[in-house]
Amino acid sequence: MNPVRNLLLSLLLLPLPLTAQLPNQNPAQPPLAPAADGLRLPAGFKAEVVHPGVGPARHLSVRANGDIYVRLSKETEGGGIAALRDTNGDGTYDQVEYFGPGTGTGIALATVPTTAGDIEYLYYSTATEVLRQEFAGRELVPAGPVETVVEGFPRQHAHNAKSIALDGEGRLFVNSGAPSNACQEQPRTPGSKGIVNCPQLEQGGGIWVFDAATTDQRQTDGKRFATGLRNCVALAWNPAANQLYTVMHGRDQLDFLFPKLFSQEDNARLPAEEMHLLKEGSNAGWPYTYWDPFANRRMLAPEYGGQPDTAWKPGLIRGLDGGDDFQAPVIALPAHWAPNALVFYTSSQFPERYQGGAFIAFHGSWNRAPLPQGGYNVVFVPFDGEQASGGWENFADGFAGEPEVISPGSARARPCGLAVGPDGSLYISDSRQGRLWRISYED
């Protein structure tokens, strides 16, 4: 182990004041103040609970009339989707109906051009397919039959969330996560080598693109748009930049798998959760590399012969097909925070500094011992065009209900989904009980 690096890490692990900065955190971010329901927000923002619990919620989407649609990880009252309506305009959602087959994560509202004209659909996913239903009008539950848009994704126990994004021009993007930590010969086994030309990248570890207007497609009918992405639950189209973005769940267990190279403290700090701008052919380097947010560079993974100070460069892995010019992230975020949702703010209710930027919901870590767990918050990343224009900022926290989270089970709530409503408010869902918040700004 590099002694200089050990010293730096030991200094980083000293008790830190509340003002201490994590890598790439904006040192001048607005301070947070107490808000409703135990949350903390920047000055001028307020939080409202619009529903106390619809069931274990994943992603959500808000229709132009204000109706909310929440994908559930467990069927509730016979349905895998909760549809909510505020019938009297008092700001709380008093009508809730459950519908839809199966359970999952992805959900999105989209108007799709077809030969019959523009049609509004609700798209949603299970672990192996993407479905949709057509709206006939302003009904709360879509009246159209359940149609299969894409099926045939691999069945797997790990990283099976099929997050979805639509670009408004007829393309549907689907995340297919890799079913492992680092594509080892013996999964999650100490010292086991990584597989060169990882076979999991054939159907997973990337983003696939499909025709949003065509039904009965299979994964093989689509095109792999981007690869080298371990699992991208947070996936969104940025209409301002006209580009696709994601925040990847980084790999785990550096210390458990390679205890002679990495300490528990190393594992708590590494690797970054990487935010990427994805263009056709993008490769983010999983499983061969990871991003070190302290060194601000891509590193060779230990499964492929890397030491803690082995910076990645093309040619380090012999016989690697498909190229090895791995891209750098737009911004590197703290390790193991579990980014589960991403939305770009294109409305005008929030102050100008937030417009065009990205909000990211962090579900919270489980594997940062001996340090406290991290995440359980929503952060903001300012953007200028296609690129981040500053460090990330803590925008909303207090969801966990306690200042120091020891394990995910002790957290009161875990942010999982994000959506911007028609009035420019930000909606947040909780994966534990399905609590729903609306964040608005009052000048």
pLDDT digits (tens, 9 = 90+) for 41-51: 999 999 999 99
Question: Is residue 257 in a domain?
Answer: yes
pLDDT of amino acid 371: 81
Name the token pair of 280: 């056709």
Question: Is residue 7 in a domain?
Answer: no
C-alpha span between 51 and 121 (Å, rounded): 24
Reply yes or no on whether the pLDDT at 9 is more than 60: no
Reply yes or no on whether the pLDDT at 59 is more than 80: yes
pLDDT of amino acid 21: 63
Task: Tell me the average pLDDT across 414-423.
Answer: 98
Q: For the chain, what is the domain count?
A: 1
Confidence category of residue 115, pLDDT binned at 50, 70, 90: confident
The count of residues in the chain is: 443
How far are the Cα atoms of 60, 340, 353, 423 from residue 428, in angstroms, in the given order?
8, 11, 20, 15
pLDDT of amino acid 443: 76
Question: Is residue 12 in a domain?
Answer: no
Reply yes or no on whether the pLDDT at 331 is more than 90: yes
Q: Coil, strand, or helix at residue 196?
A: coil
Strands (E), 94-188: 95-99, 107-114, 117-125, 130-134, 147-151, 164-166, 171-176
Reply yes or no on whether the pLDDT at 7 is more than 50: no
- Give the global pTM: 0.94
Lowest mean pLDDT among 59-63, 322-326, 411-415: 322-326
Reply yes or no on whether the pLDDT at 169 is more than 50: yes
C-alpha span between 123 and 144 (Å, rounded): 12
pLDDT of amino acid 8: 40
First to last CA, the chain: 52
Alpha helix ranges (H) inside 80-233 = none
Question: Is residue 255 in a domain?
Answer: yes
pLDDT digits (tens, 9 = 90+) for 117-141: 889 999 999 999 999 999 999 999 9
Question: Is residue 17 in a domain?
Answer: no
Name the token pair of 35: 């808000």
Question: Is residue 54 in a domain?
Answer: yes
Confidence category of residue 10, pLDDT binned at 50, 70, 90: very low
Question: Is residue 2 in a domain?
Answer: no
Q: Which secondary structure element, helix H or strand E, spans residue 167, and what is its range?
A: none
Confidence category of residue 408, pLDDT binned at 50, 70, 90: confident
Q: State the chain's mean pLDDT as an integer.
A: 93
Q: Which secondary structure element, helix H or strand E, spans residue 3, and what is its range?
A: helix 3-12
| Portion of the chain with pLDDT greater than 90, in percent | 87
In which domain, by residue range, is 217 found?
39-441
Question: Is residue 11 in a domain?
Answer: no
Q: CATH code at 108?
A: 2.120.10.30
C-alpha span between 209 and 190 (Å, rounded): 36
